[in-house]
Structure 1
Amino acid sequence: MVSVGSADRYLPDTVQQAVKIPVVGAFGVGKTTLVGSVSEIAPLRTEEVMTQASVGVDDLAATSGKTTTTVAMDFGRITLSPRIVLYLFGTPGQKRFWDLWEGLLEGALGVLVVIDTRRLEDSFDVLEQLEVRHVPFAVAVNQFPDSHPYPTEELREALDLLEETPIVMCDARDRASSAEALITLVEYVLDGSAVRTPETAS
């Protein structure tokens, strides 16, 4: 049973496994929203107001209402079961912040990649970064109100994903939907479905 929205700040004594999950994706796809919606504690956020310095650097065409951006990371927690707790680390989406990924990916069970189908091409470089690092991941398609619905297999082909890589539809604003995306990732890795390499097995 997924426990979300608990007012408790402290973990139950039954917890035996703490799992690190980075939440990555291109700029403005909904990573901060997802971490905030699912976290059972008040999420830690490192958002700053966007200034003139971002003009011509950050593409706001599809995110015209966005006024802040993550500059370090978002942090949240969700207890999946009496035994397993997830620690979530939302990463900045802009390429200039990608050096921060190295530390956040270290020791992670797997990665949840959030994508926006209105700007699918923005996710190509993100996925490539994970593939060269041999990190297991699942893809959460954040369904914005004006997003066009695409069949899963069409998305898989467009993103050049392996057949076994999970793709789950998600509303990052909705706690249950965000939790389901995380559960899909954890099950994918823990049941042995994820492709493992010597780098990830070590």
Structure 2
Amino acid sequence: MFSGAQISLYPMTDDFVGVIMSALGALDPYRERLRIETDDVSTLLVGPPEVLFPAMRDLFSAAARTGVHCTLSAAISRGCPGEPDDAICASSRFEGSITPLAQRRAKALSAVANAANLDVPSVAQFSLYVMGQGSHMDEIYGCIDFLKQSGTFEKSKHFVTKLRGDSGALFATLEQAFCSFGPPEGHVTIDLTVSANSPSAR
């Protein structure tokens, strides 16, 4: 299994370099479990989802706590047939056969309910893609049912679902959507934008 994300962080301030460099310290607790590669467009994080999503959450939250308008854009993928297996991505989340959809949905809701509160109000919009599956729409509809009960659902939009809540619950919702829907060995991707402190909301 290969899982990872290409991420870009955008603080809307003249001191964007300072905000980004300071926020990068939030990745320090995760560096032993992630492969991190940065270029002039984005940063690649490779590792298991249970490390990947908290790392993205903490990076984004650190930037958002400065009070400036910040967005994080991410392309997240697992199980891509074009990527080689990587030992750093090993995760018990994808062991065994797929369990019934209702059971996975209930477990995902429990995980979101128990997410840490980081006191960072955020909004997100994302699209989930379950690739190469004849029953992919069943998985997507199952995910939508989960999202509507998650406590972070705001509304459906064209091509995306909008979430709102504390960044702890919000990233927990995203992690569960990524891990709980689609077969364990399947190719699943998320296209994500997260925002905090937007002047539009005011």
Give the TM-score range, shorter chain.
0.3 to 0.5
Tell me the TM-score normalised to structure 1 length: 0.33
| Higher RCO structure (Cα 8 Å, ≥6 apart) | 2
Higher strand share: 2
Tell me the TM-score normalised to structure 2 length: 0.33
Higher helix share: 2
